[in-house]
A and B are shown apart, each in its own frame.
Chain A
Amino acid sequence: MEPILKGRNLTKRYGKVVALDNCDFDLYPGEILAVIGDNGAGKSTLIKALSGAVVPDSGTVELEGRAVRFSSPNDARHAGIETVYQTLAVSPALSIADNMFMGREIRKPGLRGSLLRQLDKPAMEKAAREKLTDLGLMTIQNINQAVETLSGGQRQGVAVARAAAFGSKVIILDEPTAALGVKESRKVLELILDVRSRGIPIILISHNMPHVFEVADRIHIHRLGQRLCVVDPKDYTMSDAVAFMTGAKEPPNEAMVA
């Protein structure tokens, strides 16, 4: 099977720091791939290189076998790759609906949309409300309330709902449960499985080993800017994974090429 998203020899330097060092990456259709690694291993840079937020110094990215070169998150988004960033990338002073449709607003039909460029606010509000209800993450009294009036978990819910609503090829989740309570985390994990059942592959970056081992089909272990190995969570324990990513234990040879 061909990977849907493939990275080869990705390198990114920030000054003297090598964040990505000839890193390879493979995501197969319909799978949940977890990416784990120590702080500073370069996970975030890898994700940003795949989502267009960072342009790698060298290396190639292929989406469905075609070479792509994203110079902005919008490029990746147009190609069908949606990302939930650790920082959430929401504008606090704007409403939930505004945030969900940021950069791809719906305009009114007819002249009011094309000539006056008027936004179709009722349509956007309705869609936003539906997406959030589908998620079951929260009840929002008012879809027009500013995001800054939401709790941290609710904000994360908005960001996740935005990605799930628009991602058509790949969804990347960077620490999606970091700010969530036990119950809300469960909802997000269910959402991840639900998205996979719709056939959309997911890249999950997380430090939460139980979550990773529960939902991931494969685990990409990142170390020192490179892909150390890829393991199957059924064959290894959490302690093994932690040992690999911290360098306490050498990864098995067969996993090195997987």
Chain B
Amino acid sequence: MSNTEEKNKMPSGIETFLTNLKHLPQSFKDATVRHGPPSSNRAASQSVFSNLFLHIHSVRTHRYNFKKTFTMGLGIASAASFVILAITGILLMIYYKPSLAEAYNSIKDIHFAVPGGRLIRNIHRWGAHIMVAGVFLHMVRVFMTGSYRHPRQFNWVVGMILFAVTLGLSFTGYLLPWDQLAYWATTIGAQIAGSPVEITDALGITHIIDIGGLQMRLLLGADIVGEEALVRFYFLHCILLPLVLTTFIGVHFWRIRKDGGMSRPSVITEEMLEGTPIDENAEMAFPTKNKTYGLMCLVKGDSNNVKNSVKNTVQSWPNLFNYEMAIFILVLAILIVLSYVSDAPLKEAANPAVPENPAKAPWYFLGLQELVSYSAFMGGVAIPGLAVLGLMLIPFLDKTRNESGLWFPDKNEKSVFKSTVIFSSIVILATLVFTVNFGWLRNWFPQIPQLIIVLINPGTIITGLFVWWSIRILKNTGSTRLGAMAVFTCFLVGFVILTYFAYQHRGPNWDFYWWPSLWPAH
């Protein structure tokens, strides 16, 4: 009797199971998120550092980072466009077929038959434009605000790698539709990779070491642009380069934190922080000049974060995340509007017998195409290589510890910027006008050796004058920062003017025309 009573008091297995089932949503939530809703500062902090995807952010964000005229959200916009590109790219892979016979038709199917296919493809194409522009402008912002300085030198280098990989992704992407633009752009790109042959030929050592041929064959998988090239570009575009980009984006973001957050001036007035979110609690916090972390005692050395106080910071949740989501939504909205307004181009199917006339690259490669029209090796390999290398090394050659995080903190920077814009514009325009009107060495001396053309052409003359100007600024001002300002401004102006010129004023046979409507019919 008493035995059964005891048995009745004990919950049966079924009952326990039912109770557990009833509490399932709550216990699942407790296991997933180990803190309450982010209503208090403590819970908001926990939300950030206990979440894999959020913890790359700091728990608190400096108010200066929210200053709209400082970063303009360009880095976040670039990352947002990459996320959108990854999503639309994965979707496009469902229908795209990487073979000579099917590639062009599968793009046509995506564009005309697949539900929503045209929108997805347009967003992917426009996203590429926005990403290239975003990365480029982000680089301009970082340079102009001096944010590459100690301790952020390495992150500037990572940024340059991201810039190069972004351009690589874009280039490998427009081969895939296998239309006329794709075929001829790839032909030209592969030949540029092979252009060191100009130098080895001139030196007569091509049969010993053929660097150009090796690079070209590695890219194309053959001597001609065909099936092998398409498969290789598909692999580069969909697997290798996105993997590299994602990895380096991770390093880039992680380094922002390790380098002590984003750059900011040493003295920040309340005026500069106008329009940014504020957290009164932060002002009441005790000074933490000497704070150390428990684990830090095991590690020798200084951390950039240790010196940071919580003064002028706000909770990252929700302030920073709202800001990031707003930029993401803005980028997405812009892409969708652009995609409705204008379709991604698709030319006629690739025809290896007849190139387009003119055969123009996308806008961000047009400046290079203009340089390449003077000399393949100089314009396609040497000058851009020198530019990227020079930009990469800036933080190691300019070690001045001036203010970071301000646009033009002193008058000298502004005046060097202005005079360099004027100088470099005059140099480029004069060279272009001269070349268009009078031609170049080959027009006057038809028998001139190729090596002289490679060494002396409008591209190398512009580059030489830029270097001369920057050294002059460096010498006259005695400031490496101003020298770097001159180099960077020359690069910027060169990029803008050459791109504009090739876009607007180059027509069939790469001849000069004032306006595309003046192009002869053919």
A associates with B: no
Spell out A's residues near B (CB within 8 Å). none
